[in-house]
């Protein structure tokens, strides 16, 4: 299998831009040699997802109305950061903004390409532990509901399709895998999660 880039860009035109995204219209030659067009959305920020876990095996999810989908969505705490910002710095800021928590333990568990047929958006998912809570700092566009649930309930919501957000789904499934494998990351930092009976999920 050839993993080299065999796409050829003949012309690149920026058709729209704001502080968050830039949309490109490109004339291209595809890998089969045919001429065509391609629309590409460049994201100026990367995405962040965090699964905060307390000492009793609880986590926190955030509910909000998602304008592009025209429906309510339950998700893990999420946000983003500028392309040139340290991803852990972004994650710490977003956890504080979303649920008012500061964590001493941070572990990067997953990287995702969120919609690779049309965008270059990347997401990073963290586990966060040893939590201390303060007041939230929501952005002016956010009206959020915060719910405290057991970690196994998060995984169940993902498996049942009650959570559809892609970052949250990936986080829930990755967490399930880490618990099932009795990963050292879990046993050494979140041993309370080893009490979860994965056969009941």
User: Does the reported pTM lie above 0.85?
Assistant: yes
The 3-state secondary structure of the chain, one letter per residue: CCCCCCCEEEEEEEEEECCCEEEEEEEEECCCCCEEEEEEEEECEEEEEEEEECCCCEEEEEEEEECCCCEEEEECCEEEEECCCCHHHHHHHHHHHHHCEEEEEEEEEEEEECCCCCECCEEEEEEEEEEEECCCCCCCCCCCEEEEEEHHHHHHHHHCCCCCCHHHHHHHHHHHHHHHCCCHHHHHHCHHHHHCCHHHC
| 4-29 pLDDT per residue, tens | 889 999 999 999 999 999 999 999 99
All structural domains of the chain with their residue ranges: 8-43, 45-200
pLDDT digits (tens, 9 = 90+) for 70-79: 999 999 999 9
pLDDT band for position 138 (cuts 50, 70, 90): low
At the topology level, CATH places domain 45-200 in Nucleoside Triphosphate Pyrophosphohydrolase (3.90.79)
């Amino acid at each position: 299998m050839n993993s080299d880039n065999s796409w050829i860009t003949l012309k690149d035109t920026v058709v729209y831009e704001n502080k968050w995204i830039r949309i490109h219209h490109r004339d291209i030659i595809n890998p089969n040699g045919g001429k065509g067009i391609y629309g590409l959305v460049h994201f100026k920020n990367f995405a962040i997802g965090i699964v905060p876990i307390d000492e009793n095996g609880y986590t926190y999810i955030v509910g909000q109305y998602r304008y592009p989908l025209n429906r309510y969505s339950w998700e893990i705490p999420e946000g983003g950061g500028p392309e040139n910002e340290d991803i852990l710095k972004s994650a710490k800021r977003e956890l504080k903004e979303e649920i008012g928590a500061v964590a001493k333990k941070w572990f990067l568990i997953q990287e995702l390409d969120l919609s690779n047929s049309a965008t270059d958006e990347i997401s990073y998912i963290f586990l966060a532990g040893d939590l201390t809570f303060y007041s939230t700092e929501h952005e002016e566009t956010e009206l959020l509901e915060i719910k405290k649930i057991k970690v196994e309930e998060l995984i169940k919501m993902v498996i049942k399709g009650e959570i559809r957000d892609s970052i949250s789904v990936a986080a829930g499934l990755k967490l399930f895998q880490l618990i099932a494998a009795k990963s050292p990351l879990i046993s050494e930092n979140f041993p309370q999660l080893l009490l979860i009976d994965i056969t009941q999920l």
